[in-house]
Chains A and B, each alone.
Chain A
């Protein structure tokens, strides 16, 4: 019996550690602090997709948009309409090099 409890406890400790690691990774990963909004060069040269009252830009693997306070936000889970949009249309960018539109 005590052996069973010991095994369970060990499992609990290991799995708790794994779970905590997973949680920290998810919160501190691309969805959180490491995510960076599009740079000004990207905003200036890319056509947005208008969705729910925002100009949304596909950047860094996420849809980014500004709220009414001017702060950048992104969706952790891609809205189906935007996913569908992205599946059919590549982001259109304008090049100001000698070659013109790409």
Chain B
């Protein structure tokens, strides 16, 4: 009898649990951060459904390797701390790397990417001079500040002409991609710009937090706590933004590019005004911040640490999108 009573309660309970559980679970997509209440169903039809298959060829388990993800993220942040030539054109070229296109379209788009890289060659060569000058200074124990500033100016000048020089290539890129691929490219350009700002603007120059530039250097050179403290203090006074390094012009240009590139018809030349206004900001601000960091670091290092750091900086001359043909 007691068993029957218990069973009766349990049955009622199961019905309730099932009902509440079903209420809680939605079969459709869920809105993420800032998703509007009227977010459309993910099941809405689209012309390009499953149009492009990513080029991954290695079958693997479904679980993400978190450690590898962290390292890929860190590598990207470190890349954007050291490479500033090309500005928005550089972000567009990098965005092509991970579009996940089918093999035929990939080959077509990689030709356009090669063209973009060829147009960026003068800015890239100028950046080589910046890094090489800093590396030489680190090795010698004193960075030639005037020489670095001149080299950064050359990167900015070379980057400023890029929008005009790459107009045809950008129009070809637009025409080669489907609407959904164009949206994906714009997302990636915005993502690169966000990462670049995070590490070159938002991150405190003297920050000792995990993943910050100084923390990475501490790891690389086994800096002592005293060395870290000295460097951090030296970097703690932030350089105020000047009109020359105002990121709003880049924001405006990227937004204008996004709107134009996602549309069915695209004329890169129509972006000349915002492109010109934004030109050189990434090279100037990023280059100056990088130089300032190594100028603060160098006097604090031992000879062995300087040798190791100089070698690390020279290795960056061979990074992807920096060395010719990569």
Q: Do A and B come from one complex?
A: yes
Interface residues of A (CB under 8 A from B): 3-4, 7-8, 10-12, 14-16, 18-20, 22-24, 26-27, 31-32, 35-37, 39-55, 58-59, 61, 64-69, 71-77, 81, 86-98, 100, 102
Determine the residue in chain B with the shortest Cβ distance to A21: B20
The interface residues of chain B lying within 8 Å CB-to-CB of A61 are: 64
Produce 1/0 per residue, B176-201, CB < 8 A to A.
Answer: 00001101100110111011001000
Q: Assuming the A-B contacts A15-B12, A90-B56, are A26 and B98 also in contact, with contact meaning beta carbons closer than 8 angstroms in the complex?
A: no
Q: Closest Cβ of chain A: how far from B278's Cβ, in Å?
A: 19
A49 to B54, CA, bound (A): 6
Residues from chain A with Cβ under 8 Å of B107 in the complex? none
What 5 A-B pairs come out closest when comparing CB atoms?
A11-B9, A53-B46, A15-B13, A47-B100, A72-B32
**B59 is an interface residue with CB less than 8 A from chain A:** yes
Is the beta-carbon distance between A45 and B183 smaller than 8 angstroms?
Answer: no
Contact A71 B34, CB 8 Å, known A43-B188, A76-B26, A97-B78:
yes
CB-CB under 8 A from A15, the residues of chain B are 9-10, 12-14, 16-17
A28 to chain B, nearest CB (A): 9
Question: In the bound complex, what is the Cα–Cα distance between A24 and B198 (angstroms)?
Answer: 35
Q: Is the CB of A4 within 8 A of B100?
A: no
A97 CB, nearest partner CB in chain B, Å = 4
User: Could you tell me the distance in whole angstroms from the C-beta of A100 to the nearest C-beta in chain B?
Assistant: 7
Do A90 and B28 touch (CB < 8 A)?
no
- Decide: A37 and B33 in contact? CB cutoff 8 A: yes
Number of A-B contacts (CB under 8 A): 242
Q: Contact: B192 with A44, CB < 8 Å? A: yes
CB-CB < 8 A to A67: which residues of B? 35, 39-40
Q: Would you call B9 and A73 a contact (CB within 8 A)? A: no
The residue on A at minimum CB distance from B95 is A44
Interface residue? B146 (CB, 8 A) = no
| A60–B100 alpha-carbon span in the complex (Å) | 20
| Docked complex Cα distance between A46 and B26 (Å) | 28
B30-A31 in contact (CB<8A): yes
Asked if residues A50 and B52 are in contact (CB atoms below 8 Å), the reply is yes
Q: Are B77 and A12 in contact (CB under 8 A)?
A: no
- Is B26 a contact partner of A16 (Cβ separation < 8 A)? no
Question: How many whole Å from B55's CB to the nearest CB in chain A?
Answer: 7
Cα separation A98 to B47 with both chains bound (whole Å): 39
A-B contact pairs, 17 of them (CB 8 A): A12-B13, A15-B10, A35-B32, A43-B191, A44-B195, A46-B98, A47-B99, A48-B100, A66-B183, A67-B39, A67-B40, A71-B34, A73-B29, A93-B69, A95-B72, A96-B79, A97-B72
Within 8 Å by CB of B39, from A51, A69, A92, lies A69
B40 A52 Cβ-Cβ under 8 A: no
Whole-angstrom distance between the Cβ of A14 and the nearest chain B Cβ: 7
Within 8 A of A (CB), among B1-31: 5-6, 8-10, 12-14, 16-17, 19-21, 23-31
Q: Is the CB of A40 within 8 A of B16?
A: no
A8 and B5 alpha carbons, distance in the complex (Å): 7
Question: Which residues of the other chain, B, contact A93 by a CB distance below 8 angstroms?
Answer: 68-69, 72, 98
Check B36 for interface membership: any CB of A closer than 8 A: yes
Q: Is B209 an interface residue (CB 8 A)?
A: no
B31 near A55 with CB under 8 A, answer no
A71–B36 alpha-carbon span in the complex (Å): 7
Note all chain A residues with C-beta closer than 8 A to B71. 95, 97
Q: B13–A20 contact, CB under 8 A?
A: no
Nearest CB of A to B261, in Å:
14
Closest residue of B by beta carbon distance from A65: B42
Contact call A8/B62, Cβ cutoff below 8 A = no
Give the Cβ gap from A74 to chain B, nearest Cβ, in Å: 6
